[in-house]
Chain A
Amino acid sequence: MRSTKSKPAPFPKCPTGIHGLDEITLGGLPRGRPTLVCGGAGCGKTLLGMEFLVRGATEFNEPGVCLSFEETADELATNVASLGFDLATLIAHKKLAIDHVYLERSLIEETGEYDLEALFVRLGHAVDSIGAKRVLLDSIEALFGGLEGQSVLRAELRRLFRWLKERGLTTVVTGERGQATLTRHGLEEYLSDCVILLDHQVTETVLTRRLRVVKYRGSTHGMNEYPFLIESDGISVLPVTSMDLKYGVCNERASTGVPDLDTMFGGHGYFRGSSILVSGTSGTGKTSLTAHFADAACARGEKCVFFSFEESAAQIMRNMRSIGINLKRWVDKGLLHFHSVRPTTFGLEMHLVKIHKIIKQFNPSIVVVDPVTGLLHAGTPFETRSILLRLIDFLKEKQITALLTTLTGGSNAQEQTEIDISSLVDAWLLLRDIESGGERNRGIYILKARGVAHSNQIREFLLTNHGVELREVYLGEVGLLTGSARVTQEAKDASAAMLGRQEIERKQLLLQRKRVVLDSQIAALQLDLETEEQESQQLIAQEKLKVAQWERDRGDMANSRFVNQRSHEGNGRSTKANGGQK
């Protein structure tokens, strides 16, 4: 598809309308030329051819003619009815013509020169009668079995293919696979424009159909073997590896459904279109975490597909209800689609084809695969890894946020997924057990999150009846504590803190009391002082009075004595002066 966009195709192509085949052939089969579809018995050659005709008639308005050498029109109609194709209606509407060429060698005598002009006449008549653009020859090799004159036949086949080309009919020619050659009778000799090989392999009782474009003259094409499915609506080929790493990126985030976890992811959750791996040993809550994510997505009105390889849809819904997540309402609303299948039901590739198909049909914005390790049962680790790579590639291309869970065995290193896909994912959440104090608790941390400033903390992870809750784990002098140990320690810490608080209060009270006491003491002393002061003032005043009294008394005495002297000596004044000096 890339090349058709960027530069004109070397020659026009004819879209087959078959899921995936047009992608592999970058647009379809060579228009106006014959394409050889070869493969062993029962590998789906006729179905591919018929789908080519039916899709042409129904989707591209290109009527088609089937020249069938093996099955009658009725047989064909019955066979493809299982793919949902209604040949009778198409024939009635002149969109399709089927001509059964019956060859029975024992009933035919060859008596000289002949040619296959009658085939040309029949084909030409059928083509003209409905204006066909497409032709299916299924399987023209029957002619080799029905006729003796092989050289005539070869010349006639060459002429037939030239004739088809001249008339510009896009033709699919089917051929049985030979021992060493692509077809038993070397049809590839004449049909060199495009050769598609169908194959089916059984590995460990699991059948996988594969398709490979062996040759496509004048065009690039996918080179690999691509698995394909024959299902109720036709063939789906899976272009397993995208050609390049060119997906768009999205800066939008999608909530994880657990607010605390969003916080760990820088407050916003996962990047949209990224792939998130949730790994952990069994019972660590991987599915619960994915259910949260799905629940949150559906609550936002987004569509979600939940691929489960271990539990049935009903089982998951019941279990999630126990932690308060009601997924059933989303299923009822058509927002959530469960696809539960045993990993061993079919091969890895079939799983991938299935997943592709469902995603294309449902067009979700979120996909959950729980667990991807389940796929290990359907293939070797190497194959599983390559399938997951392809799956992740596909989801990224579609900008679908994918949550993949993986189960790590108890014996394995935790930071290593069994299928080693950690390098493929954008974010990795690790759920782990923390065993201590006779208890098993869950811890969660973000091992990596590309492009997100994420938390580096291990948080305790609780499954409550209203969903997942995260707790800070206790990191104290005694180390990391979880569960009841954490609760105990927290209680201890709380009581210690309370004691401390009380002590402070007590001390404050004491101080206050002391202050009160001291204050009162100060007041008492003050009072004492005042009393003393008063007393001493009183004494001073008394003393002063005494002195004044005494002086007054002396004066009186002197006076009286002076009186005596004047009367006795006659010098009362000098005595008075002396007394004053005294």
Chain B
Amino acid sequence: MEAKNNMQPASKRGTNGRTRSAKWELKLYVAGQTAKSLQAFSNLKVICEEHLAGEYRIEIIDLLQNPQLAKGDQIFALPTLVRKLPEPVRKIIGDLSNTERVLVGLDLQPRPSAAAI
């Protein structure tokens, strides 16, 4: 589980040195270290560093280890990024490769229809 080791420090890095009440609380649900989940994590990291530097905390939840957690956040697709904070809760599924849509999903950017042209 080398990849996992890559990811966990990352999540810690997100919270490291920050107050408990980070403004952005994100949860990334994955199932093991698949290509998609690794991709999602690295994409997320880039986006967060770019837009939310110092204000975010990422928690990685591996459903293979904690399958019961899927129910609580209504996870059905993987990978899924859940924005727990700020409210309201938003869900973004996929490997987060479409940055535009991730930003829309995180409410960091208005919907494309409104932002068109």
Residues of A in contact with B (beta carbons under 8 Å apart): 99, 101-103, 107-119, 121-122, 124-125, 143, 147
Contacts and interface: CB of A to CB of B under 8 A. Distances in A.
B53 interface: no
B77 A111 contact: no
Contact of A107 (B31, B71, B91, B104): B91
Nearest to A153: B77
Given A108-B92, A109-B92, A114 B67 contact: no
Interface in B30-57: 31, 36, 39-40, 43
A119 B29 CA distance: 12
18 contacts: A107-B91, A109-B93, A111-B94, A114-B77, A114-B79, A114-B94, A115-B36, A117-B63, A118-B78, A121-B31, A121-B64, A121-B67, A122-B67, A122-B70, A122-B71, A122-B75, A124-B67, A143-B76
B67 A116 contact: no
B63 A121 contact: yes
Given A103-B76, A112-B96, A112-B97, 6 more contacts: A102-B74, A111-B94, A113-B39, A114-B78, A114-B94, A118-B75
A113 B98 CA distance: 9
A111 B29 contact: no
A109 B78 contact: no
A99 B101 CA distance: 29
Interface residues of B, number: 33
A55 to B, nearest CB: 25
Contacts of B43: 112
A69 to B, nearest CB: 9
A122 B79 CA distance: 14
Given A108-B92, A108-B93, A109-B93, A114 B71 contact: no
B80 interface: yes
Contacts of B76: 101, 103, 116, 118-119, 122, 143
B95 A111 contact: yes
A101 B105 contact: no
B25 to A, nearest CB: 17
A107 to B, nearest CB: 6
B68 interface: yes
B80 A111 contact: no
By Cβ-Cβ distance, the 5 closest A-B pairs, closest first, are: A109-B105, A125-B67, A112-B94, A112-B97, A112-B95
Interface of B: 29, 31, 36, 39-40, 43, 63-64, 67-68, 70-71, 74-80, 89-98, 101-102, 104-105
A338 B59 CA distance: 67
B82 to A, nearest CB: 10
Contact of B63 (A99, A112, A118, A147): A118
B68 A108 contact: no
Contact of B105 (A111, A118, A121): A111
The SS class assigned to the A binding surface is mixed
B96 A111 contact: yes
A470 B68 CA distance: 79
B98 to A, nearest CB: 5
A579 B73 CA distance: 189
Nearest to A69: B76
B91 A109 contact: yes
Contacts of A125: 67-68, 70
Contacts of B101: 109-112
Contacts of A118: 29, 31, 63, 70, 75-78, 80
Nearest to A116: B77
Please indicate which of the listed interface residues A103, A113, A116, A125 has the most CB atoms of chain B within 10 Å of its own CB.
Answer: A113
A117 B93 CA distance: 12
Contacts of A110: 92-94, 101
A325 B57 CA distance: 86
Please indicate which of the listed interface residues A103, A108, A125 has the most CB atoms of chain B within 10 Å of its own CB.
Answer: A108
Contacts of A121: 31, 63-64, 67, 70, 78
Contacts of A107: 89-91
B108 to A, nearest CB: 11
Contacts of B90: 107, 109
B94 A117 contact: no
A292 B93 CA distance: 75
Given A118-B80, A119-B76, A111 B91 contact: no
A109 B98 CA distance: 10
Contacts of B63: 117-118, 121
A99 B75 CA distance: 11
A298 to B, nearest CB: 57
A576 B89 CA distance: 198
B20 to A, nearest CB: 26
A110 B43 CA distance: 14
Contacts of A102: 74
Contacts of B36: 113-115
A115 B67 contact: no
A113 B101 CA distance: 13
Nearest to B91: A108
Please indicate which of the listed interface residues A102, A103, A112, A147 has the most CB atoms of chain B within 10 Å of its own CB.
Answer: A112
A46 B42 CA distance: 42
B77 A115 contact: yes
Contacts of A108: 91-93
Contacts of A111: 92-98, 101-102, 105
